[in-house]
Structure 1
Amino acid sequence: MDLVTEQKLERRERIIREARELIAERGYQNVTVRELAERCRVSVPTLYNLFGGKGELLQAAVESQLHDVLATFEPSESGQGGLPLVDLVERCAQEMARLSDYHRSLLRAFAGAGETGQLQETLAGRLAAALASELRAMQKQRQLEPWVSADTLAGQLTAACISSSVIWAHGGLGDAGLRASMVYAACLLLLGPARGAARKALRERAEAAQAALEDEVASRSADRALG
């Protein structure tokens, strides 16, 4: 890689980091291209040349994070059952909680569709593809019923994750509750068609997530009573 290309990539990554921080502070809908350019210390034309606009910059920022999460995910090996898939779901929840203000802002923007609609579909598709790949690995290991459509089940898993995320974004779940909710939903969806050792592992994981959700509900009830 030549020096010019390397510098361009470094500037691109710096802009993405700054954009995440600004969106977390002000909310996606409240940020303008000019504000993004000023925060990133570049001109508006430079921002357009590098990304194409506000929507494209947002897409680059979100896809960069999802790529990092998926890049560290290792496909399951024999004997691990459905747990690597559940680990991926949990890792996504942890990443959202790590940058909570940023992701809450994005999820609220997604709820309004508009210019973020295509991005939402792209991200959901990429997550579903990663989950489908893991489901096929489970089928090869005979830990998932062969009649199950990996793509269809992956779509249902993705929808469950999105549902929990939206509830979290609007304050209905805390960070621990988000993680437990996503893991619980994934385990329950997998338990039906799971086979062999996978069923036992998934049930244990589901029971732990259920207990965490019950703790969250009890804690919120106590807070309301005190308030």
Structure 2
Amino acid sequence: MASKANEELKEGGERPQTYSSPAIIERRRRILEETRKVIAEQGIAALSMNEIGQRAGVAKRTLYNAFQTRERMIASAIQEYFDEYVSRIAYSSEPGTMQHNLERMISVVQRNRKIRNYIKAIMALYFSSDVDHDIWAAMHSPAVHHNRQWIEVLEAKKQLQPWVEVDKLVEDLVRFEYATINDWAQGRIPDDQIIVRLVGSYLTSLLGALKGAARKDVEALIKDISDRGMDALPMPQRPKVAA
């Protein structure tokens, strides 16, 4: 830790700081924010450490000290942005329920509609055949976690069909969710249809894996969505403002 602090001293000519200091936290926030801006403006292929360093006001070696590689910096920017947003959703339902997972999906789509270029860039990367694993995992893992919460509760309640494997089901749900979001980002699904289309199709694809009360609940919601559209959905409250 002392050697890292010395590097900070040499680079900035200032007193050594710990990696939990407000200055270091603010610098990391600035780096990741500029990384996301470049992704939205230019895409990931054009993103360079030199440009991020210039825009964030830090030396390139500082970026490598903090993230080791360009790909890990991009992965951190993507994952931390997602995690920070989801942590501020004002859920009206308990974790591990269908309503909680749908509130998360709906809130994220509402956010996505405001940052379409960014979402288009990261979805194109997610489905690329040569995407770096760190970047792919940064996008894939959070959605796996949130889908798994509900599916594991259903497994514990014995409301999954006997042929269902939890890991495979969760992976398939994430792929379906992201494929639909990618179609929207590419302009194939209109803005005013994406939420109903995503939730309705997601639940329909899941229906064959369910039995008992869970299946009845999902069937009822699908019918309600068909009848009433957005009015049938468990809408999350406005995300809490970050401190």
Say which one has the larger Rg.
2
Equivalent position amino acid for 1:124 in 2: H
Taking a change above 3 Å as real, the CA distance of residues 17 and 159 of structure 1, as seen in their structure-2 partners, is same
SS of residue paired to 2:132: helix
Once residues 52 and 224 of structure 2 are traced to their aligned partners in structure 1, the CA distance between those partners, rounded to angstroms, is 42
1:33 matched to 2:49:
yes
Residue 190 of structure 1 is matched in structure 2 by 206
> Of Structure 1 and Structure 2, which has the larger fraction of its residues in helix?
1
Structure 2 residue matching 1:19: 3-state secondary structure: helix
Paired residue for 1:174, among 190, 194, 197?
190
Identify the residue that residue 75 of structure 1 maps to in structure 2: 95
Question: Which residue among 37, 44, 67 is the counterpart of 1:51?
Answer: 67
Q: CA deviation at 1:196?
A: 4.0
| Alpha-carbon distance in structure 1 between the residues aligned to 2:224 and 2:37 | 34
Q: Is this contact kept in 2: 1:143–1:198, CA < 8 A? A: yes
Q: Is the 8 A contact 1:144 1:194 kept in 2?
A: yes
Q: Give the number of equivalent residue pairs.
A: 208
Does the aligned pair in 1 maintain the 2:72–2:134 contact within 8 Å? no
Q: What is residue 236 of structure 2 aligned with on the other side?
A: none
- Per the alignment, residue 218 of structure 1 pairs with none
Cα deviation for residue 150 of structure 1 reads: 1.5
- Is the 8 Å Cα contact of residues 129 and 151 (structure 1) preserved in structure 2? no
* Cα 1:175–1:207 shift into 2, 3 Å: farther
Report the alpha carbon displacement of residue 53 of structure 1 after superposing the two structures with TM: 3.2
TM-score, reference length from structure 1: 0.76
CA contact (8 A) 2:160 2:209 kept: yes
How far apart are residue 170 of structure 1 and its match? 1.7
Once the two structures are superposed, what CA deviation does each residue of 1:106-163 show, in whole Å capped at 9, x if it has no partner?
2223344435344224532442243223211123234434553221111111111121
Whether the 8 Å CA contact 1:108–1:169 is kept in 2: the answer is no
Aligned residue type for 1:141 = K
Equivalent-residue separation in structure 1 for 2:208 and 2:110 (angstroms) = 26
SS of alignment partner, residue 157 of structure 1: helix
Written as runs of structure 1 = structure 2, the 5 A alignment for 1:36-185 is 36-69=52-85, 71=87, 74-76=94-96, 82-145=98-161, 147-185=163-201
Unaligned runs of 5+ in 1: 214-227
Question: Does the residue aligned with 2:58 lie in a helix, a strand or coil?
Answer: coil
